[in-house]
Chain A
Amino acid sequence: MDTQGVTADPQLQQFIEVESQKERFQQLVHQMTDVCWEKCMDKPGPKLDSRTETCFVNCVERFIDTSQFILNRLEQTQRGRGSLSESMSD
């Protein structure tokens, strides 16, 4: 998003950047809570027991690891290792 043409006001520009970043964070929290609920939650009880809580924490970490893995792999593939399916077979 090019904000240069939209506003010359540096305060407004910074506000937009800060709020955008906060919103990206919130969106990912929504998404990960959704995905990890499916993986970690059995029957909702009177409280979040420590096993379930640990599952959620691990889930967040592994989700981010997965995202980074995919980005790295994609970058490797584009650096001339041929097609995506070729690089999968090592």
Chain B
Amino acid sequence: MDSFGSDFSSGAAGSGKMDSGTIMEQVKVQIAVANAQELLQRMTDKCFKKCVGKPGGSLDNSEQKCIAMCMDRYMDAWNTVSRAYNSRLQRERARI
């Protein structure tokens, strides 16, 4: 997969022959990238707050360990929230 900054439209768009299937695939990829970036941004924010105290000259070992654990816990939390939200949505739909 290309890097985040790559220009997806440089190929087919230039020849004016982008079919809707290609557009849909590219849109899906861009959405996935955007979601990954959002996740990373929030994770960085949370884990910085939890793990880094008064900023020193570098990240010491305990800070790095904390950040690593924090990342995993954030993913666990995200998955838990996703499942819980999905369940709730299904319950709401069953009521209607």
Contact = CB atoms under 8 A, between A and B. Distances in A.
Interface of A: 9, 11-12, 15, 19, 22-23, 25-26, 28-30, 32-34, 36-37, 40-41, 43-48, 53, 56-57, 59-61, 64
Contacts, number: 82
Nearest to A40: B77
A59 B35 CA distance: 22
Given A19-B27, A41-B73, A64-B88, A57 B80 contact: yes
B42 A30 contact: yes
Q: Determine chain A's interface SS by DSSP, over half rule.
A: helix
Interface of B: 20, 23-24, 27-28, 31, 35, 38-39, 42, 46-47, 50-51, 66, 69-70, 72-74, 76-78, 80-82, 84-86, 88-89
